[in-house]
Structure 1
Amino acid sequence: MTAGFVPWPDEFARYYRERGYWRDRTLGALLDDGARRWPSRTAVVDGARRWSYAELNSRATRLACGLRARGIGHGDRVLVHLPNVAEFLSLTFALFRIGAVPVLALLPHRRTEIVHLARLATPVAYVVASELRNLAYAVPEIEHVFVVGDPGEFTAIEDVAAEGEPGEGPGPDDIAVLLLSGGTTGLPKLVPRTHNDYDYNIRASAKLCGFNGDTRYLAVLPMAHNFPLACPGVLGTLSTGGTVVLGAGADPGAVFPLIKAERVTATALVPPLVLVWLDAAEEPEESTVDLSSLGLLQVGGSRLKAEAARRVTPLLGCALQQVYGMAEGLLNFTRFGDPDAIVNDTQGRPLCADDEVRVVTDGEEPVPPGDVGELLVRGPYTIRGYYRAAEHNAGAFTSDGYYRTGDLVRRLPSGELVVEGRVNDVINRGGDKIPVEEVENLLMAHPAVHDVAVVGIPDDVLGERSCAYVVARGTPPTRKDLIAHLTELGVAAFKQPDRVRFVRSFPRNGLGKVDRKALSTLEIRS
């Protein structure tokens, strides 16, 4: 077992095997199976390039052999810093084959983040897109630099491939991939997902979402994110014989024609992009594009406000599935056939019957049913600790192995969760607690509000006051308009924003979540 990794206790591991969650298969077998069962079927579409399952498998095998020949093997970390290109998939499967561990950096990451990840993960190789290759000079301790595209003075990834046999692979309890934590403050932590737990994550998600050989999944979110990678995402698509269509971005002007041309059946977005798509679908030039093949739009990464959720099916013509999860493990989905009220107003219920969910007070006592509390979870695909983070783990996990998500939720009698915000996203205004998600949802119901983020700002008298940052739809409303709207809805005066600021867009972190700290700092400076 890799140093710095916290395993599941033996009794839990034994139970998860008995229940069939853990099959003791490694993720490299996923592509082996696909190449054997559907060799000529298209696995990935990347612009004009179309790779069959057999070709993707061959490329992954040859790359695995080449990496092994350079001394890269079991347990070694490889920092991967790529956009949505086919080489991301061949590399990832090559690393799965030899037991090396991809560390998935996000494309917007630059020197600060890359140096941090290199120090934390101590990778032996850095695989980077050509336009970012100069970042390699910031991490000279990394022995190998492989480049997708023009390599400059480094080594092109295609020159690494070699004939031969990859050799002995990893064990099912070994780390398969190091994902990045999704918090909005501080540098990312590393989330160690094993072959066993991630295999279940992929397989169960694909089954729940009805993925099969006819699935054509469009990856517009970066594949380095857990959501489009494995929930069920590109790996879930490949596990069922479907086709992955890679998009360079989510701009409707490019993506809507791609959906039509490739007959895309499913995709996933974060809420800000949903709003962009919905607005585009109302424009005459975009509304005529045939999106009839699109059957499923998954939305996750942060909460989709109910007002936006209700617009999805009428405007895009597809089913909406809300997905609430985290790189650390737990996944919740709304199900096909759920009533509209569940799909639009909740974030679904857990994927697995053995996802152990607790909703607790500050003192970790259970809250009454329907009340808001912090979500704690443990289960067959939720980690027991961050990688090389013993001090942080002491606070992030309970003594009996529950992960403290930091999310505030309500659990309905039917089992669905409603995300109400973050533990630190409650504004304390003179002792009155303001749940920002609630206020944001109410403001979103105003027809002139496109998007909104409510943040706390320091105040000498009250401790904190609230400020609503608003992206307007058309002519911006005044603060007076918004206060009148909230008053009409019966909202308590202390919850109504003390200030309103209008912006074109919000600062966001690499996972697309609103950077509330940056907004608070902006307001303090102003």
Structure 2
Amino acid sequence: MKTDNRQDHDYLFLDRLERADARKTAVVDLNGGRPVALTFGELNELSDRAAQGLIDLGVEAGENVAYLLPNGWEFVVLTLAIWKAGAVACPMLPALREREIPFIMRKSNSKVLIIAEEHKGFRYGELIGRILGELPGMRSLITIKPGSPARRKTSLGGLAAQAPDRARLGRRRPGASAASQLLFTSGTTGEPKGVVHTHGTLGHGVAAHVEALGLTPDDRVWIPSPMAHQTGFLYGMSLALYLGATQICQSVWQMDTARAAIEEHGATFVQAAMPFLADLTRVSAPPKGLGAFVATGAPVPRKLAQEAAEKLSCKVVGGWGSTESCMISVGSVRAYGEASWNTDGRAIAGRDMKVTDEEGRTLPPGKEGLFKVRTPAMFTAYLDHPEWYEAAVDPDGFFNTGDLAVIDEEGNLRLTGRVKDIINRGGMKVPVAEVENVLYQMDRLRDVAIVGMPDERLNERICAYVSLRNAEDTLRLDELTAYLKSQGVAKIYWPERLEVIGDMPRTTTGKIQKFILRQSIADKLGAELQWTSRAE
């Protein structure tokens, strides 16, 4: 469905790119010793050439192309190149390792894998060499080494070496209904879900967000969130492309780089998880210049929002979205007040949200229930699992988010809990069932329960409760994480605290009562904090 009478091409990123001022700076990449800048004209030309390179590799229209890259100009160029080749962008988080990469390659049926040579000291070529036997469908491996975009024959792993056949590219040009993005998001089934979006759904997702926040081409969009995550991909990179605005890319979270993005390169807008806001606010001499910070992933604590508004001199607003639905609500920057940051905002134009009971009856304001949303930016499929889509989206087009929420009399949304058993660590969703399933294979463990524990900076951290087969045995956290590492589980999903208990609290039907464990660790952390305060 559409929210107005504009044509599809008004929303499509490739069309918006062509209409941008070719002389204007499109990308500023702050990685490495010196910033790298590309104009819109250079971005268009490079992505044309890289698209030709992909076609010459045999990439077909509609084919998924997997790439594992940090934030930077290469990520932007390759995303556009994949789209111009008529293919589907399938980005992977740089933190993924032996366990996740083969799964995504198999599920996406990607015949091409594009990797960074190195990121944060990790060499991806060595990793791929170890798992080649698990990638039987991979036809081409492209390794991108650091280099200047001006060196067309060697940059982008050689993909941009040849001049493009623009007539051929024109025949590959995707329409609004063509698949655009395949993102894998953690679920409760133990198997990551492949979320499929079209060029039209992603374009609608950005267009309404831009209007809600009053953003313009004069804004400068800072992207510290991973571009392989929907926050950085859609509300960083793609939002800047839609606006014809400059995007400022940061791949490693360092305060000096963040300060440079804001104070030297003029960043005015950022959408990111709350930990970024906390770090910016609490550093000595917080950087000034941001106009708006949209904090997603968790409601902003009152104290932090007040400190941020004062110390950063910017407006802090909350918001809610998902990989499947894109952004549904956002706080107001025009009628700025406590509800802007102390809630998840009001519905964006053209988006519907409601709270229902288990029978699907809409509940009145102030009542907690199942949170459901409807939007023209809704995903179109779960890859290879139509039954998951049918279970999640009802005949009226409402997506059951799996979250619990309250909508107040003024229409402000407050997420109150989750039906899904997923930990929200700084805006990154942890696949609890998958981690538990791996740990259950550890011989020394009898029972495992992964729960979130409260954290002031990240909202939640990961706590593992375990009971041991041998009551006289002991287990340390580093032994637990070493096992997860040996099984190829990404470090971002490792527990950060271990609690060894005799027996798990259970219901009469045998299910582990995780709410008791969550309360137990929250109480223990609170007691430890009080003890530390008294000791000081």
Report the equivalent of 1:159. 158
CA distance in 2, matches of 1:389, 1:133: 32
- 1:109-167 CA-partner distances (Å, limit 9, x unpaired): 1121111111111012111111213343422421111121179xxx9634122212224
1:279–1:450 distance in 2 versus 1, CA, 3 Å = farther
- 1:451-494 CA-partner distances (Å, limit 9, x unpaired): 66698974158963222359989x9324999xxxxxxxxxxxxx
CA distance in 1, matches of 2:4, 2:281: 45
CA distance in 2, matches of 1:411, 1:259: 34
Contact 1:385 1:397 in 2 (8 A): no
The amino acid across from 2:338 in the alignment is A
Aligned-CA RMSD value: 3.2
Residue 268, structure 1, aligned to residue 244, structure 2: no
Residue 477, structure 1, aligned to residue 530, structure 2: yes
Contact 1:102 1:178 in 2 (8 A): yes
- What is the aligned counterpart of 2:520 among 457, 463, 467? 467
1:418–1:76 distance in 2 versus 1, CA, 3 Å = same
Moved more, 357-366 or 69-78: 357-366
CA distance in 2, matches of 1:59, 1:130: 20
- What is the aligned counterpart of 2:381 among 374, 380, 385? 385
Report the equivalent of 2:355. 359
Contact 1:453 1:469 in 2 (8 A): no
1:390–1:239 distance in 2 versus 1, CA, 3 Å = closer
Contact 1:81 1:127 in 2 (8 A): yes
Identity of aligned residues (%): 24
1:135–1:27 distance in 2 versus 1, CA, 3 Å = farther
1:61–1:183 distance in 2 versus 1, CA, 3 Å = same
1:420–1:17 distance in 2 versus 1, CA, 3 Å = closer
State the SS of the aligned residue for 2:233.
Answer: helix
Contact 1:124 1:142 in 2 (8 A): yes
State the SS of the aligned residue for 1:117.
Answer: helix
Residue 417, structure 1, aligned to residue 441, structure 2: no
1:270–1:318 distance in 2 versus 1, CA, 3 Å = same
1:261–1:479 distance in 2 versus 1, CA, 3 Å = closer
- What is the aligned counterpart of 2:195 among 191, 196, 200? 191
CA distance in 2, matches of 1:124, 1:308: 46
Report the equivalent of 2:50. 63
Contact 1:330 1:377 in 2 (8 A): no
- What is the aligned counterpart of 2:243 among 235, 240, 246? 240
Contact 1:451 1:471 in 2 (8 A): no
Unaligned runs of 5+ in 2: 119-123, 148-153, 423-450, 466-503
Contact 2:11 2:207 in 1 (8 A): no
Contact 2:355 2:407 in 1 (8 A): yes
1:114–1:453 distance in 2 versus 1, CA, 3 Å = closer
State the SS of the aligned residue for 2:84.
Answer: helix
Residue 107, structure 1, aligned to residue 94, structure 2: yes
Residue 322, structure 1, aligned to residue 314, structure 2: no
Residue 296, structure 1, aligned to residue 292, structure 2: yes
Report the equivalent of 2:391. 395
Contact 1:181 1:328 in 2 (8 A): no
Report the equivalent of 2:37. 50
Contact 1:212 1:237 in 2 (8 A): no
Report the equivalent of 1:349. 346
What is the deviation of 1:237?
A: 1.6
1:58–1:69 distance in 2 versus 1, CA, 3 Å = same
Residue 41, structure 1, aligned to residue 24, structure 2: yes
State the SS of the aligned residue for 2:271.
Answer: strand
> TM-score normalised to the size of structure 2?
0.74
Report the equivalent of 2:174. 170
Moved more, 320-329 or 197-206: 197-206
CA distance in 1, matches of 2:85, 2:19: 17
CA distance in 2, matches of 1:339, 1:179: 33
Contact 2:299 2:342 in 1 (8 A): no
What is the deviation of 1:339?
A: 4.4
Moved more, 196-205 or 106-115: 196-205
Report the equivalent of 2:126. 134
Unaligned runs of 5+ in 1: 1-11, 427-435, 482-526
CA distance in 2, matches of 1:400, 1:301: 26
1:120–1:320 distance in 2 versus 1, CA, 3 Å = same
CA distance in 2, matches of 1:477, 1:179: 42
1:112–1:320 distance in 2 versus 1, CA, 3 Å = same
What is the deviation of 1:175?
A: 0.5
Contact 1:211 1:237 in 2 (8 A): no
What is the deviation of 1:72?
A: 1.1
Residue 214, structure 1, aligned to residue 239, structure 2: no
What is the deviation of 1:340?
A: 2.3
Contact 1:73 1:99 in 2 (8 A): yes
Moved more, 20-29 or 401-410: 20-29
State the SS of the aligned residue for 2:365.
Answer: coil
Moved more, 449-458 or 93-102: 449-458
The amino acid across from 1:219 in the alignment is I
What is the deviation of 1:68?
A: 1.3
State the SS of the aligned residue for 2:43.
Answer: helix
The amino acid across from 1:43 in the alignment is A
What is the deviation of 1:329?
A: 1.4
